[in-house]
Amino acid sequence: MSIIETRDLVRDFKKTRAVDRMTFSVQPGEAVGYIGANGAGKSTTIKMLTGILKPTSGHVRTCGFDPMRQRVEVARRVGVVFGQRSQLWWDLPLRDSFEILGAIHRMDEQVTRARTDLLVEQLEMGPQLGTAVRSLSLGQRMRAELAAALLHSPELLILDEPTIGLDVLSKQRLREFLVAERREEGTTLLLTTHDMGDIERLCDRVLVVDHGRLAFDGTLNGLAGTVGAQRIVVIDLAQPTPDLVDVPGATLIDSESDGLRQRFAFDSEATTVAAVLAHVSSRHEVRDLTVKEPDIEDVVRRIYAASGRG
């Protein structure tokens, strides 16, 4: 059985069509990144999946249930984190939020406690348990939100922009936790984000939505391949060097300062950073190297451009 199934899902707001004949399904254990520009229809889809918003037409099933008619059944099986909203009790110590959520989900007290302990340990939140939620930092709060969404061991975890506003270290911890959680529990993940790092580290499948329509459904590499998004490697050399035009699999984009810095573009399918570096360093002394990944905005822009919008 699919965890998420939509068929010809449509949602109209007064004059605009926010979601347009969306058809996709997500199998148990998958980790799916759901990306697109602001207003492309991501949040609208999530609201329909969770029973907050009624579809104009089409078919939607979440964990096998109709989210509109069987809201409670869906709520028991799904955990949701909205980056911009909180599900915690603002003026209570964090510990209390877990206790209340456990009761709301009709969990046995011992189960609640064991599950809380486990999540708190994995998310390294022990010192914050006695702190009022309003006094937590954003990074701490997002980890707490994640723990709250996972407390009842949902089959499906939906994260709407979970890393928005977080610093690099906080993002890193959040992602590491999610990877470990999924490895152990096999939780299905649906994630919307503007951060390519989230997708790369967490997702094995990407859905790109453009003006309410599914513009791409496949792997991340496939996505980059489809639109010809290339990785960029910048090599700094010790001596001024003539342009290196003969690196196999890579194309020279430009060079600076008499060839002290040279930039190459390459396709992941054709070669690797290591091969490029090996080739260059066998002939010249290399001082530094940076790799620039294709960013999500760029990839999405290309997809939009290819489909004649944007």
Partner 1 sequence: MKTFVLLARAGFRRHSTYRLALLAGMTTNCVFGFIRAAVLLAALASAGTSIGGYDAPTTIAFVWWGQALLGTVNLWGFAEVKERVRTGDIAVDFLRPVDPQITYLAGDLGRAWINLLGRGVPALLVGALLFDMAWPPSAASWASGAVSVVLAVVVAFAGNFIINLLAFWLVEIRGITLLWMITGGLLCGLYLPVPWFPDWLRTIANWSPFPSMLQNPIDILAGRVVGADIASTVGVQVFWAVALLVLGQFVLRAGRRRLEVQGG
* Per-residue DSSP letter, 238: S
To partner 1, the closest distance from the beta carbon of 109 in angstroms equals 8
Angstrom distance (rounded) from CA 187 to CA 3: 10
Dist CA 64 CA 6 (whole Å): 11
Q: Which helix (H) or strand (E) holds 62?
A: strand 57-62
Binding piece for partner 1, criterion CB under 8 A, among 58-66, 77-85, 190-198, 247-255: 77-85
Of the candidate residues 38, 85, 110, 168, the single one contacting partner 1 (CB under 8 A): 85
Select 7 or 54, whichever has its Cβ closest to partner 1: 54
**What single DSSP character describes residue 130?**
T
Kindly tell me which of 94 and 227 has the beta carbon lying closer to partner 1: 94
Q: What is the CA radius of gyration of the chain?
A: 23
Out of 86, 226, 268, 307, the residue judged to bind partner 1 by CB under 8 A: 86
In a 3-state reduction of DSSP, which class is residue 148? helix
The DSSP annotation for 138-175 comes to HHHHHHHHHHHHHTT--SEEEEESTTTT--HHHHHHHH
CB 89 within 8 A of CB 144: no
Q: Give whichever of 100 and 275 is closer to partner 1, judged by the CB atom.
A: 100
Binding pattern for the stretch 89-128 against partner 1, x by CB under 8 A and - elsewhere: x-xx---x--xx--xxxx----------------------
Question: CB 92 → partner 1: shortest distance, Å?
Answer: 6
Site for partner 1 in 45-74 (CB under 8 A): 47, 50-54, 68, 71-72
Residue given tokens 């506003």 in the structure block: 165
For partner 1, the closer CB: 51 or 294: 51
| Distance from C-alpha of 280 to C-alpha of 63, rounded to nearest angstrom | 52
Residues that bind partner 1 (CB under 8 A): 13, 44, 47, 50-54, 68, 71-72, 75-76, 78, 80, 82, 85-87, 89, 91-92, 96, 99-100, 103-106, 132
